[in-house]
Structure 1
Amino acid sequence: MQQLLKLGTLSLALLTCQLASANEFYSADRQWLLGDWNGERKQLEDQGYKFTAAIMSQAATNLAGGYNDDNTLENAGQLTLGANFDLSKIAGWENTTAGLMITKRDGNSLTLERIKDPRASTLGNTQEIYGRGKIWRLTQAWIKTGFDDNRVQFKIGRMGMSDDFNSSQCEFQNLLLCGGQLGKSIGSIWYNWPVGLWGTNIKYQFAPAWSLGLGVYEVNPDNVKTQSNSDGFNLDMDNVEGATIPVELAWKPKLAAFNSLPGEYKVGALYSTAEAKDIRSGEMQDGKYSFWLNAQQQLTQHGADPKRGLYISFNGVVNDKATTFVESTQQLALWYKGPFDSRPNDSIGFGLANYVVNDRATDKQIATNEGRGYYSYDAIASDYVPIQRDELNVELNYTYQWSPAVMLRPNLQYIYQPTGVKEVEDAWVAGLSMKVNF
């Protein structure tokens, strides 16, 4: 499995294959790397059965800086196997679909190996697909049905929370620049991909551009265990500690100020009923809360192609200061789809994102060190607690869409104050993401 997810061999094969004709293995218009199964794949989709298989690989090497500047290359990989069923075609259940997804992660993180002080709590990551264990997981197993001309949609089963709330685009390799932000700062109660958990949600489109969503998801530490593959398929609710309840208002306008180009704006809040520990005192609180804002807008359109042009997004999260180590996160990203007429499916991306560590947590770290006799940074003492503040992540990338089946994304990242520790030298990282759809 680990060899399968290695970047080098497959990347080299892809890069050395030149200008294949339309029906060959690496042709530029090939939808799936393994083809259409002599037409059977398209026929199955027409009947309501859609199958997916993909490998994502993210490599990163440290160019300069970080806690340990000894150069190395680390690679993280993810295998995804999925199926989607249109039950209106299969069983005659109108406006009803079901999803099944299994994932396997492997590899190592450059951030853990070189960038961060190992004594400090992890904040960002140069490879967003690293984390939640090197195990097989049942990531999705849900059913969704619509009512009232599909204006009301009800979903129940095993799923990730950012599948339906606090979701965002992922045009980057850096963790905080990719997808929903809540799982990066309140991971004990908000579970993103690849973790699946029991939950349900309902969404109501009460106007053409407006919708309101409400969800209820279990808070169960068993869902993030990583000791064995059985942990990834544990479906019991024996150790549920409470529920996370998100609500989100979404607006999808076409504003005249942006030449009627599409946008999406979301505000949301959550409350968790699970007990949470006070950051400073250690006392247990009845629950915790968070608020968020997601905004994405297409700013320009290139010619007559509605997909080409400049896009911008902003994501912000504010967490409960009493109980959360990361008080807030902010993300701003720009990407241009179709920068060249000869490469209409490529894109150029630039983003920056910031973690803000709760000053109550910083004060506790300072007090802990002073109690142990440390009044300045000690690079070697094992019981010294690094003082953490803000961490800024920046990424510039180019997405090379070889075909619908193959994507390559070289990128350059800059990490200011890794894990918020000012004594650790700012880091420069070169990365390469690759995705292959089979």
Structure 2
Amino acid sequence: MTCLRIRALLKVCLTAGAFLSAAAAHAEDWRKSLEDKGITLGLSEQAEIWTNFAGGVRRGVRFNGLLTGSVELDLAKLANIPNTRFYASMFQIHGRQPSLDMVGTLQPVSNIEATGATRLYAAWFETLLFNERLSLRIGQQGANEEFMTSKYSGFFLNSSFGYPALAALNLPSGGANYPLSTPMARANLKVTDNISLVGAVFNGDPAGRGDGDPQRRNRTGTSFRVRDNPLYFLELWIDRNQGLADTGLPGTLKLGVWHHTGIFTGQRFDAQGGLLAVTGGTPHIHHGNTAFYALFDQMIWKRPGTSDQGLGIYALIMRAPSDRNLSDLYAEWGASIKGPFESRPDDQFGLGFSFLKTGKGLRAFYNDGFVAGMGQIPIKPYELSVELSYRYVYSDMLTVQPSLQYTVNPGAGLPLPATYNQQRNLRDAWTFGLRTTLTF
């Protein structure tokens, strides 16, 4: 009887496998037919499990995930508009946030954790002009899609490696950054074969003023705010050995600046020049906020006979004024290798560091209150996150990525939300996560 049940179960599994294979093949044929007509569809599910097993706010396990759907329309094929395309994407964010619930870090351990919602993210048109040397884009997207990005750090799971924490902490509502995007216009000019100039203007606040979680103020991503003070980006890209005929190792230097034209409150002094921690008065007002940064990507070893397998290093440093910002210095650096084994050409392995310094004015505010006996506790000068990660490419449809992260000074001693009943001076945290990505 047992053998019969096993045979029946095997038969069911084989039948189901054959059905799924046939369905996948049919779906691939259907997708290819649409692409030939100029319609490209995308669908992926990223599912994560995280455990914080030492330090932080509390030990525990959390699950979270992100379902992404996208459509790209080639308007040359669909509407006879040459060199023009339309792209849109939507997110369905689910699960609980591991950093908020367990770690208490300013740099979230996962770059997909966010408040649960179904939201529109990107929706833009792009056209190429002057023999494709000028690209113009208008619509809605996040700044992290094109600015402050590194080729070698993008595969890490910690959010800072995709969008520097300094910008996320200092800009209104976190700036135009996942999961919030804003209307924008961007131009990318290829000055020479090796030099590009990229500039953009974004609406400066994706959620608008208000209390609480800004993601709840723009829950659907359809606020389309355009009347807030603008946020400008400008980057100069200098490429080396990026052409097919180049024999040297490729590298890129990016020099950039972002400037927000809005109003920012002082961190230490009130409007009359007194110490905020003592007087409790109205903070001094600053007009505008600017950060300068530089990013360096460089391949230092390439496996012979391959085009992109090898070891690359990267570094980014960003500086902002200390009198109006929670953080005035951010740096990240590390290395990653694609194809760590000849038998695994698409896998990736890397070690990255992200350093977030608390602002001089903010630290002075807490020190002033401590010295004056106002109940303030001095905060830590920095938070440091270290990530070791490996992305295993099982197939075109499935990747699995474990991530081990160590956080020094989680939260930098800043006050925790009122829901926490823990001390602010959290112990260094050890966090492990596993992400699976299914691409349909």
Question: After TM superposition, is the score higher than 0.5?
Answer: yes
1:241 aligns with 2:220: no
CA drift at 1:61: 0.7
Deviations 1:232-255 (A, max 9, x none): 222254xx3311111110112118
Partner of 2:240: 253
Matches within 5 A, 1:89-108: 89-108=77-96
Deviations 1:300-329 (A, max 9, x none): 111212121111111221122221111111
CA drift at 1:222: 2.5
Distance in 1, matches of 2:429 and 2:287, equals 39
1:126 aligns with 2:127: no
Secondary structure of the structure 1 residue equivalent to 2:68: strand
CA drift at 1:371: 4.4
Find the partner of 2:221 among 223, 232, 253. Answer: 232
Distance in 2, matches of 1:158 and 1:147, equals 21
Matches within 5 A, 1:47-196: 47-68=37-58, 71-116=59-104, 123-131=106-114, 133-169=115-151, 170-179=154-163, 183-188=167-172, 190-196=175-181
Deviations 1:269-298 (A, max 9, x none): 121111111122222211110111122122
Check the 8 A contact 1:83/1:100 in 2, yes or no. yes
Find the partner of 1:219 among 184, 188, 204. Answer: 204
Check the 8 A contact 1:109/1:126 in 2, yes or no. no
Partner of 2:325: 324
More divergent stretch after superposition (47-56 vs 418-427): 418-427
CA drift at 1:177: 2.6
Partner of 1:377: none
Check the 8 A contact 2:175/2:206 in 1, yes or no. no
Check the 8 A contact 1:181/1:317 in 2, yes or no. no
Secondary structure of the structure 1 residue equivalent to 2:148: coil
Distance in 2, matches of 1:331 and 1:212, equals 23
Distance change (3 Å), C-alpha of 1:88 and 1:138: same
Check the 8 A contact 2:207/2:218 in 1, yes or no. no
Partner of 1:5: none
Aligned residue identity for 1:250: W
- Larger Rg: 1 or 2? 2
Aligned residue identity for 1:434: T
CA drift at 1:370: 4.4
1:415 aligns with 2:407: yes
Partner of 1:269: 257
Find the partner of 2:387 among 387, 395, 398. Answer: 395
Secondary structure of the structure 2 residue equivalent to 1:329: strand
TM-score by length of 2: 0.82
Secondary structure of the structure 2 residue equivalent to 1:158: strand
More helix by share: 2
Deviations 1:201-232 (A, max 9, x none): 11111100111112111113526833377542
Secondary structure of the structure 1 residue equivalent to 2:363: helix
Distance in 2, matches of 1:204 and 1:255, equals 17
Secondary structure of the structure 1 residue equivalent to 2:302: coil
TM-score by length of 1: 0.83
Distance change (3 Å), C-alpha of 1:221 and 1:200: closer
Distance in 2, matches of 1:337 and 1:52, equals 24
Check the 8 A contact 1:60/1:126 in 2, yes or no. no
Matches within 5 A, 1:270-419: 270-281=258-269, 282-374=283-375, 387-419=379-411
Aligned residue identity for 1:427: A
Distance change (3 Å), C-alpha of 1:183 and 1:404: farther
Deviations 1:142-177 (A, max 9, x none): 001111001111111111112222223422112223
CA drift at 1:43: 2.1
Deviations 1:368-387 (A, max 9, x none): 3444554xxxxxxxxx6561
Distance change (3 Å), C-alpha of 1:436 and 1:25: farther
Distance in 2, matches of 1:168 and 1:24, equals 41
> Alignment length, in residue pairs?
393
Distance in 2, matches of 1:221 and 1:159, equals 10
C-alpha root-mean-square deviation of aligned residues, in Å?
2.7
Distance in 1, matches of 2:308 and 2:54, equals 37
CA drift at 1:178: 3.3
Aligned residue identity for 1:139: Y
Check the 8 A contact 1:141/1:158 in 2, yes or no. yes
Aligned residue identity for 1:225: P
Distance change (3 Å), C-alpha of 1:423 and 1:104: same
Distance change (3 Å), C-alpha of 1:352 and 1:24: farther
Distance change (3 Å), C-alpha of 1:255 and 1:134: closer
Distance change (3 Å), C-alpha of 1:221 and 1:304: closer
More divergent stretch after superposition (222-231 vs 401-410): 222-231
Partner of 2:438: 436
RCO (CA 8 Å, sep 6+): is it higher in 1 or 2?
Answer: 1
Partner of 2:426: 424
Check the 8 A contact 2:182/2:225 in 1, yes or no. no
CA drift at 1:341: 2.2
Distance change (3 Å), C-alpha of 1:321 and 1:248: same
